[in-house]
């Protein structure tokens, strides 16, 4: 006859071990050390972009955010067929955060386009924006983003 632990004993041992380990993680002695505040070019110190650093090239960051959004947009001329799901609206929000951090560091000729993009992206990121307005706003966004790309010395999507 073989001996075996009753299942209840194994479960009690496992649960006890988990409780002890979790309690140790929550004890004040084991609290994680405070992280250094993330640096940001934003005057208020707010960080809107994951991994952003004060020394990042503003053009590289903004051009990247425009490109990231572009991956979810239909080609120019198909604005009426654009689908406005959470992915697209969220990428407009991401672009706004990137502009909040890096827009002031872009070349001066980009300033009017940055203001236009911020306004347009703010409207296009909202779920409540009427579908009938979106195609025109998207066309305006494309014009403004092309101006930013040009100011940064990057070719605009054709």
Q: Which of 79, 53, 67, 71 is nearest to 134 (CA)?
A: 79
The whole-angstrom separation of Cα 13 and Cα 87 is 45
pTM: 0.69
Structure confidence by residue, pLDDT tens digits, 87-104: 999 999 999 999 999 999
- Asked, for residue 43, whether it belongs to a domain, the answer is no
- Asked, for residue 81, whether it belongs to a domain, the answer is yes
Q: What is the largest CA-CA distance in the chain?
A: 87
* Secondary structure letter of residue 157 according to DSSP: P
- Asked, for residue 7, whether it belongs to a domain, the answer is no
- Asked, for residue 75, whether it belongs to a domain, the answer is yes
If you write DSSP's letter for every residue of 1-32 in order, what string do you get? Answer: ------HHHHHHHHHHHHHHHHHHHHSGGGPP
- Asked, for residue 135, whether it belongs to a domain, the answer is yes
The whole-angstrom separation of Cα 125 and Cα 105 is 23
- Asked, for residue 157, whether it belongs to a domain, the answer is no
Work out the average pLDDT over 127-140: 97
Which domain, by its residues, includes 142?
Answer: 58-152
- Asked, for residue 74, whether it belongs to a domain, the answer is yes
- Asked, for residue 85, whether it belongs to a domain, the answer is yes
Number of domains in the chain: 1
* Secondary structure letter of residue 51 according to DSSP: T
* Secondary structure letter of residue 38 according to DSSP: P
Work out the average pLDDT over 142-149: 97
59 contacts 106 by C-beta, under 8 angstroms: yes
Classified as helix, coil or strand, 44 is coil
pLDDT for 4 equals 55
The whole-angstrom separation of Cα 122 and Cα 129 is 10
What is the gyration radius of the CA atoms in the chain, in angstroms? 25
pLDDT band at 52 (very low <50, low <70, confident <90, very high): confident
The whole-angstrom separation of Cα 100 and Cα 95 is 9
């Amino acid at each position: 006859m073989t001996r075996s632990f009753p299942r209840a004993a194994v479960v009690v041992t496992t649960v006890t071990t988990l409780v002890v380990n979790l309690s140790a993680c929550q004890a004040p002695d084991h609290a994680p050390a405070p992280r250094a505040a993330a640096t940001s070019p934003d005057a208020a110190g707010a960080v809107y972009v994951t991994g952003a650093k004060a020394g990042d090239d503003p053009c590289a960051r903004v051009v990247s955010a425009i490109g990231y959004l572009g991956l979810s947009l239909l080609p120019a001329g198909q604005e009426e067929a654009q689908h406005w799901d959470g992915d697209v609206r969220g990428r407009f929000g991401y672009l706004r955060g990137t502009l909040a951090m890096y827009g002031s560091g872009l070349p001066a000729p980009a300033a009017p386009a940055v203001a236009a993009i911020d306004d347009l992206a703010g409207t296009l990121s909202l779920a409540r924006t009427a579908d009938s307005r979106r195609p025109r706003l998207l066309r305006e966004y494309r014009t403004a983003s092309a101006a930013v790309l040009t100011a940064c010395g990057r070719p605009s999507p054709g």
